[in-house]
Amino acid sequence: MSCFAVVPCAGVGARSGADGPKQYAPLAGRPLVAHTLDALAAVPRLAATLVVLSPDDVRFERLVPPRPGLWAERCGGATRAASVQGGLAALRRRGATDDDWVLVHDAARCLLRPAWVDRLIDACEDDTVGGLLALPVADTLKQADGGRVAATVDRRGKWAAQTPQMFRLGPLARALAAAGDAVTDEASAMEAAGAAPLLVEGALENFKVTWPQDFALAERLLETR
C-alpha cells in the first residue's frame, strides 16, 4: 500500500484580502503553495503529491517548478469536498487503489513540517480508520448571537481540526460521495459514515492562512526557521 498526498488548490481565497487566489500570493519571496509543496516533498513515504487545480487555472506551472512526484490535475470543483473527490478520481486514473492511503492537506497550511506528516503516518498506518492532525482547544469558547455573547461553550474534549487528514482512498471516496458538498473536511465525511477518526496532536504553527493578518505572521515564521 502506498501513501499519496492530495492538495486542494482550486479556491479563490475570498477572505484573505489577497490580489487573486491566496495560494499564489507571495510569501517570503515565493508563492504560498510552494512552501506547502516543499514540506510534502520532504516526506519520503509519500509516493506522490497531487495538486487539484481549478479548470481555468493558468498560474500553477508558471509559478511552481515541476519536480518528480508532483502531479497537477485541473479537476477542482466549487467546494473543497468536490475538489477532493476530483483528486481521488485522478489518483485512481494514475494507478492508486482503494486500499492506498491519501493524506489531504490544505494548500494554505504553508508552515507544515515533514516531521508532523511522519507523526500522522506513524499513528495511522496500522489503524482501521485513519485520522487527522488536530489540537486540543485551549481558549474559552463563546457562542455568538448578533455580535454579542449568547453562551460560553464547554471546551473540554474539543479539538481544532488541522490537516493533513489521512484515510484510505476507497472509504474516503465513498464517504465524501454520501456526505455531499456541505462537509468542510474529510474527517466530517468519515464521521457521517460511522467511522471514528484518530486524533493525532498537531502544532500551533500549522495554522491555515485565512485572514489578511495571517500572511504577516506566516512570513515571520518562515523567515525565522
Domain boundaries, the chain: 3-128+163-198+207-223
pLDDT at 12 over 80: no
Comparing 11 with 198, which gets the higher pLDDT? 198
Q: CA–CA distance from 61 to each of 57, 72, 73, 146, 161 (Å)?
A: 9, 9, 11, 44, 30
* Average pLDDT over every residue of 141-147: 96
Q: CA–CA distance from 144 to each of 139, 182, 183, 184 (Å)?
A: 15, 22, 22, 20
Of the candidate CATH numbers 3.20.20.80, 3.90.550.10, 3.30.365.10, 3.40.50.11750, the domain formed by 3-128+163-198+207-223 belongs to 3.90.550.10
pLDDT at 15 over 80: no
pLDDT at 14 over 70: no
Cα gap 5→47, rounded to integer Å: 8
Q: What is the pTM of this model?
A: 0.94
Q: Where are the alpha helices (DSSP H) in the chain?
A: 32-41, 60-63, 80-93, 114-124, 169-179, 186-192, 212-223
Average pLDDT along the chain? 95
Q: 117-140: per-residue pLDDT in tens?
A: 999 999 999 999 999 999 999 999
pLDDT at 210 over 60: yes
Q: What is the pLDDT of residue 1?
A: 85
Q: What is the pLDDT of residue 16?
A: 44
CB atoms within 10 A of CB 171: 19
Strands (E), 95-203: 101-104, 130-136, 141-145, 148-153, 159-168, 198-201
Cα gap 63→30, rounded to integer Å: 8
pLDDT at 18 over 60: no
